[in-house]
Structure 1
Amino acid sequence: MTQTMRRRLPLLLALWAAFALRLFQLDAQSIWWDEGISLHLGTSSLLDIAQNRAANIHPPLYFWSLKGWLALVGVGAFHGRFLSVLASLLQVAALYAVARRWFGPGRTTWLALALIITAPISILYGQEIRAYALLPVVYFLLFGLTQQIIREQGRRRPPLLALALVEWTGLHLHYIVVFLVIYLNGWVLAHWLAGRRRTFALRPWLLAQTAVFLASLPWAAAVLWRWNAVQAEANAGTYLTDPAPIPFLLSQVGVFHLTGLPSVLSQPLVRWLAAAALALFLLLLAARLAQPATRRPAAALLLHWLLPLSMAVVVWSIRSFSHPRYILMYTVGLVPLLAYLIWPPRAVSRKPYSVFRIPYSVFRIPY
């Protein structure tokens, strides 16, 4: 076995473990309502999918992709869910790539990898015929590409082209991606305003964002043309519900991070375990923020997780009975933060953490 293979073997074994967990009992559960809609659309024509989604609250790209997949492998619960298994496996690979850039090849990266492999939320939605397994892939890719662009001062074209492509893809997979796009644009703008005007090439970034905007106009026009139907879909059932109380909403989102099952919030044991997990998290966070060597990365990782998540929670102001899966892509931001809090890298080097300076300095977190 070559030295390169020895280095890659642990990662390959980790990917196989992730694949096995997501494949286990893949077709054990019967198809539920939303999965039935996905399979129906996946067997419709491309035009029918576009017309249906233009009057809906979800864009068409996942269903177009599902149609192509089902045409290759056949129609059924196992076949449709297997596409999400592959997407969930991509989550693991994307998280590893981003964590390796942020933390280096050491223990923190491997802990983050273990956390995402065993995360219930990644496994559960990696077995569902919906777009949600793909969204964390978009999340990690956009963060990784934005970090690379900031490090390179926006002067290389390939990362910008890749970023524009991933942004457009994400926006046509699920509208919730718009909050991440807003956050990342704010991150780059903050970098430029924080004294990098002479070194950071802002114009290529703006051109990339303009390209995404222009490429998204055709679908945006189709949605606006059917706007009344979209509003009716978004508001369906809202007259039967009251706005969710903030404490309940926060509890539901917190338990969803841990289990992927918001309904288990009604179980006393789950509430106690969630409270214990929160207390441990706060203790770890306080410990890292108290240490000068780990303060900046911990604070910035916290901002990278919480700010986009907080923006996405606005969906409950539109539909008070929204399911937490709508914000699933933002829950995975907790994984690198937890890995860093539990087991930070041995040596604190300035280079790996340059990505954390801007959000830290912009919000002026005190030493």
Structure 2
Amino acid sequence: MTRLRGVARYIGVLPMLVAAAVACWGLTTPSLWRDESVSVSAARMPLSQLRLLLGDIDAVHALYYLLLRPFITLSLPVEAAARLPSVLAFAGAALGVTVIGRRLAGPVAGLAGGLIYAVTPIAVRYAQEARSYALVSAVAVLATGLLVRLFDRPARWWLYAAYAASLALLGYLHLYAMLLLPAHAVAAWFAGRRSALIPMAAAGLALVPLALFASGQREAQVFWLKTPDWSDVASFPVDVAGSVPAAIALFALAAWGARRAWPVTLCAVLPVALSFAISQLQPIYHPRYVLFAVPALALLAGIGAASLPRARWLAVPAVTLFAVLTYGTQQAIRLPDSRPDDLRTLAATLEADERPGDAVLFVPQRYRLFVAAYGRPYDRLVDLTHAAGEYQPRTADQLRRELGGIERVWLVSPRIAWKYAEDERLVTLRETFRKGQVRMFGSLHLTLYTRKN
């Protein structure tokens, strides 16, 4: 019996190992994209400069940028170093799903849930991203695991303190992840553990300063979000699983497992439902913003696999079938140009074509951060975006004076439509410079302007 328990313990870490292997597969193949470039740039900044950035636009990501700083100094390719925290968090979340599943529904359910999570495409995609979403998911799993322990153990002060700290950490990594809190509150209420509401309230109070400060940056942070409609609801399963067949398999197993684990069902369903509902008044929904609900969904699927008729024989084929159905998506998310922007190819193109004395202009100015992860080509150019020592963009008059001895200017921008057509720096550039070929690298455009004869 002791030997069997030892074997079971070793098998229990299998989802963590599979998750780590899956996340490391092709980790450096896709280029960093603009959001990841901001992460890398922020992690490299002197703290004084980082403080200015956080005060202007990115306060909600402050903790993540600080956590990333030691990783970005590692002697690894920039893609690997920047994405390593997400890889580790993804593996840890897979282990957490396994442990929670074993506690709630037995070892087969835990193992199946952890393995399903390890190959769920949306989770894998953000395990290979230098942003906070994989870490948020891992902390959500930790908080849920602590709540489960509160359900079945006598109250201990350190457990309540750890639970409150995990919720506060969750919110400081991403405020929208606090949509998990109502699910936890409902679960605690109906499980008769109403004392768990106290650490929830304490965590909420701890997040008030960040919420107040971040509210002033909302328009700069998530201005691009749109009100979701029923098509977004319908596409959510495919966003998670990567394809219609994989979505059918995943959500069918989860629906079957939901009968046996109602608290997990709350954690999988309620945050997504609340995100859609709130977004009808104030858009906050995006699939990656509810990524922290996916571990619960995978756990439900694992419980469903373990509760199939003849589960001893069918659980393994069910998990294997889901993995096979996701394989095409797994390949697609590792293509070199699979991210919204191909910053690496953009930098390589610029490095090959730039000449001594060339200049660069970023419109809008934040696009300097968007490309800085591959900064060497830009560092050799005269930066026309900012006045010396200032964070604000140059005025038209300042730019006009600076252009005096320059023959070629590289413009890095999005598609120049009505939103930026009247930018005073762009208007000034066009007075004496002729627009050349526009090359596109995802959503980023690179245009060479040469002086008119």
- Superposed CA deviations along residues 91-121 of structure 1, whole A, max 9, x for unmatched, are 111111111111122x222211221122222
- Equivalent in the alignment of 1:291: none
- Equivalent in the alignment of 2:210: 219
Higher strand share: 2
- Equivalent in the alignment of 1:44: 45
- Equivalent in the alignment of 2:128: 127
**Do residues 59 (structure 1) and 51 (structure 2) align?**
no
- Superposed CA deviations along residues 169-201 of structure 1, whole A, max 9, x for unmatched, are 110100112111232123323444xxxxxxx57
- Equivalent in the alignment of 2:366: none
User: Which of 271, 275, 286 is 1:323 aligned to?
Assistant: 286
- Superposed CA deviations along residues 138-184 of structure 1, whole A, max 9, x for unmatched, are 2221221112112235x211211111111111101001121112321
User: Which of 76, 79, 101 is 2:78 aligned to?
Assistant: 76
1:183-202 to 2 correspondences below 5 Å = 183-192=183-192, 202=195
Q: In the alignment, is the contact (CA less than 8 A) between 1:136 and 1:330 conserved in 2?
A: yes
Q: In the alignment, is the contact (CA less than 8 A) between 1:87 and 1:134 conserved in 2?
A: yes
User: Which of 268, 272, 286 is 1:309 aligned to?
Assistant: 272
Q: In the alignment, is the contact (CA less than 8 A) between 1:80 and 1:129 conserved in 2?
A: yes
Change (3 A) 1:50 1:209: farther
Q: In the alignment, is the contact (CA less than 8 A) between 2:16 and 2:94 conserved in 1?
A: yes
Change (3 A) 1:319 1:29: farther
- Equivalent in the alignment of 1:97: 99
**Do residues 208 (structure 1) and 199 (structure 2) align?**
yes
- Superposed CA deviations along residues 9-39 of structure 1, whole A, max 9, x for unmatched, are 3234443332221111111111111110110
- Equivalent in the alignment of 2:241: 258
Larger radius of gyration: 2
* TM-score calculated relative to the size of structure 1: 0.73
Runs (4+) of structure 1 exceeding 6 A deviation are none
- Equivalent in the alignment of 1:281: 252
Q: In the alignment, is the contact (CA less than 8 A) between 2:241 and 2:247 conserved in 1?
A: no
Of the structure 1 ranges 133-142 and 295-304, higher mean CA displacement relative to structure 2 is found in: 295-304
User: Which AA in structure 2 matches 1:254?
Assistant: P
Q: In the alignment, is the contact (CA less than 8 A) between 1:298 and 1:341 conserved in 2?
A: no
Secondary structure (helix, strand or coil) at the match of 1:28 reads coil
Of the structure 1 ranges 52-61 and 141-150, higher mean CA displacement relative to structure 2 is found in: 52-61
Change (3 A) 1:221 1:314: same
- Equivalent in the alignment of 1:118: 119
Change (3 A) 1:103 1:208: same
User: How well do the aligned residues superpose, as a CA RMSD in angstroms?
Assistant: 3.2
1:316-355 to 2 correspondences below 5 Å = 316-317=279-280, 323-344=286-307
Secondary structure (helix, strand or coil) at the match of 2:307 reads coil
Query: What's the CA shift for 1:57?
Result: 7.3
- Residues of 2 paired with 1:295 and 1:116: CA distance? 16
Counting matched residue pairs gives 307
- Residues of 1 paired with 2:32 and 2:146: CA distance? 36
- Superposed CA deviations along residues 280-300 of structure 1, whole A, max 9, x for unmatched, are 818x84xx5xxxxx8852555
Give the % identical residues: 22
Query: What's the CA shift for 1:72?
Result: 5.0
User: Which AA in structure 2 matches 1:189?
Assistant: W
User: Which AA in structure 1 matches 2:65?
Assistant: F
- Equivalent in the alignment of 1:22: 23
Query: What's the CA shift for 1:45?
Result: 3.4
Change (3 A) 1:189 1:299: closer
Of the structure 1 ranges 178-187 and 52-61, higher mean CA displacement relative to structure 2 is found in: 52-61
User: Which AA in structure 1 matches 2:61?
Assistant: P
Q: In the alignment, is the contact (CA less than 8 A) between 2:39 and 2:65 conserved in 1?
A: yes
Q: In the alignment, is the contact (CA less than 8 A) between 1:131 and 1:173 conserved in 2?
A: yes
- Equivalent in the alignment of 2:109: 108
Q: In the alignment, is the contact (CA less than 8 A) between 1:99 and 1:109 conserved in 2?
A: yes
- Superposed CA deviations along residues 227-280 of structure 1, whole A, max 9, x for unmatched, are 1xx132256346xx6x4431x111221111212xxxxxxxxxx45x367548x8
Change (3 A) 1:317 1:56: farther
**Do residues 145 (structure 1) and 146 (structure 2) align?**
yes
Query: What's the CA shift for 1:51?
Result: 4.4
- Equivalent in the alignment of 2:165: 165
Q: In the alignment, is the contact (CA less than 8 A) between 1:308 and 1:330 conserved in 2?
A: yes
Change (3 A) 1:59 1:35: closer
* TM-score calculated relative to the size of structure 2: 0.60
Secondary structure (helix, strand or coil) at the match of 2:61 reads coil
Secondary structure (helix, strand or coil) at the match of 2:117 reads helix
- Equivalent in the alignment of 1:231: 218
Of the structure 1 ranges 112-121 and 297-306, higher mean CA displacement relative to structure 2 is found in: 297-306
Secondary structure (helix, strand or coil) at the match of 1:26 reads coil
Query: What's the CA shift for 1:88?
Result: 0.8
Q: In the alignment, is the contact (CA less than 8 A) between 1:39 and 1:75 conserved in 2?
A: no
- Residues of 2 paired with 1:328 and 1:345: CA distance? 26
Secondary structure (helix, strand or coil) at the match of 1:249 reads helix
